[in-house]
Amino acid sequence: MTNHSISSLLDLTIKDSKLLTLSKKVIESNRLSPQEGLYLYQNADLSLLAMLANYIRENRHGNKTYFNKNFHIEPTNICVFDCKFCSYSKMLRDKEDFDAWEMSEEEIYSAIKSYNNIDITEVHIVGGVHPKMGLEYFKNLIQNIKAIRPELHVKAFTAVELDYMCRKAKVSYKEGLQILKDAGQGSLPGGGAEIFDEKIREQICKDKCTSAEWLEMHEAAHSVGMPSNATMLYGHIETYEHLIDHMNRLRDLQDKTGGFNAFIPLKFRNKNNQMSGIEEVNIIEDLKVFAMSRIYLDNFNHIKAYWPMIGRKTTQLLLAFGVNDIDGTVDDSTKIYSMAGSEEQNPAMTTEQMVALIKEVGRQPIERDSVYNELHDYSLIELV
Ligand code: V47
Ligand code: SF4
């Protein structure tokens, strides 16, 4: 749809004059203030948000939908922190529990070697914050991984893990990140952001790095030339106001550095954690969060649906709600979401399945690398 025809459609269908003004602002690529974003979030129905988000998505990316070929390594689930939503971590004192794990270095290298001759471009390394694994350990680990497979992109460590490593090693964020970059780390994943509002953070994850520290870590990463992602944990005790505030802090930092690649809303899953009493939100709320992300975060190129968390069918639907990236093949190598109750208990998709998922809803599957260089256009490749 052209700008003009969508504008006429808005005139015909929107009765609330403020909503109409805001919708036209979005269509004309003008930025919404936090108050305007909140008004739109609270008052627009799903179909309006979908239309606006899809309009932006198609203007920016057409039908292109990115994925990569990746796997995860989760070195341990022992963690010094106690996030109330976490279904995965164990305290050090519980390390003998049957569902606690600590991979040895050799196990990690064998995991990397098991992908020898397999077409994969990225390893995503995150885990619990183990008191015994520090900056030096991870520097060596990355160096050795790169020695085994030099071309593999290492996306590693949330700001929470990095904050802990840097403190223990008594180095600044920038110094710590430079050490990891020199060892071969390519980028940072977006975890640990949760909800930036300090009152909510106090209730759900009060003992790990603060919101200001999370943002400072990503700013430092961007300053040493490492791009990163950003996440937002939605669907628990937060309100729309907190979601807008969270996105606003990210939008401000992105204006400053331009270093974020993708924004990933993560749906709170309620199995096996201290917040299990909270019901999961319905699919309408899921669709709204993603659409609002696309509308509000005008300086984020990529909005990602992480399919192991949200499920395949919803991922397909989200491609009409602003999403243009669906993460990777994953190869059954992460436990964070299966332990939290996701329907994807052994998340793995072949390239054929990723491509089919995207094509089935009329979009164009593009394999990307970790920094969004396009590698293969699967709308032009016949898979047998
Ligand atoms: O920070 C933990 C979330 C995150 C639960 O950057 C939960 O490409 C929902 O950040 N329900 C870690 N969410 C994972 C992460 C991530 C995942 C995929 C891709 C990327 C990327 C980053 O997982 C944590 C937390 O927000 N989380 N427990 C739960 N019960
Ligand atoms: Fe530890 Fe991360 Fe779980 Fe928090 S979310 S308890 S930091 S593993």
Ligand 2 within 6 A of CB of 160? yes
How many CB atoms lie under 10 A from the CB of residue 148?
14
pLDDT value, residue 110:
96
| Mean pLDDT, residues 309-329 | 96
Domains of the chain plus CATH, in order, are: 3-61 (no CATH), 64-377 (3.20.20.70)
How far is the CA of 378 from the CAs of 66, 117, 244, 328, in angstroms?
10, 21, 35, 14
Decide if 370 contacts 152 (C-beta within 8 A): no
Cα–Cα distance, 235 to 8 (Å, whole number):
34
Decide if 354 contacts 120 (C-beta within 8 A): no
| Mean pLDDT, residues 319-347 | 85
Give tens-digit pLDDT for 21-31: 999 999 999 99
Q: What is the DSSP string of 46-75?
A: HHHHHHHHHHHHHHHHTTEEEEE-EEEE--
pLDDT value, residue 52:
97
Ligand 1, pocket residues at CB < 6 Å: 85-87, 158, 189-192, 194, 229, 231, 233, 264, 266, 268-269, 273, 306, 327, 336, 340
Burial of residue 106 (number of CB atoms within 10 Å: 0-12, 13-18, 19+): exposed
Q: Cβ neighbours of residue 308 under 8 Å, at least 6 residues apart?
A: 327, 330, 334, 337, 338, 342, 344, 347
Give tens-digit pLDDT for 207-243: 999 999 999 999 999 999 999 999 999 999 999 999 9
pLDDT value, residue 384:
65
- CA of 240 from ligand 2 middle (Å) equals 24
- CA of 190 from ligand 1 middle (Å) equals 8
Give tens-digit pLDDT for 283-301: 999 999 999 999 999 999 9
Protein residue with least CA distance to atom 4, ligand 2: 83
Q: Which long-range contacts (C-beta less than 8 Å, at least 24 apart) are formed by 32-36?
A: 32/295, 32/296, 34/244, 34/245, 34/248
Q: Which residue has the higher pLDDT, 310 or 345?
A: 310
Cα–Cα distance, 291 to 299 (Å, whole number):
15
Dihedral, CA of residue 158, residue 160, residue 162 and residue 163, to nearest 10: 160
Decide if 366 contacts 64 (C-beta within 8 A): yes
What percent of the chain has pLDDT above 90? 87
Cα–Cα distance, 309 to 300 (Å, whole number):
21
Cα–Cα distance, 149 to 53 (Å, whole number):
39
pLDDT value, residue 4:
79
Protein residue with least CA distance to atom 2, ligand 1: 86
pTM of the model: 0.97
Q: Which of 223, 133, 137 is nearest to 178 (CA)?
A: 223
| Mean pLDDT, residues 199-209 | 97
| Mean pLDDT, residues 328-336 | 80
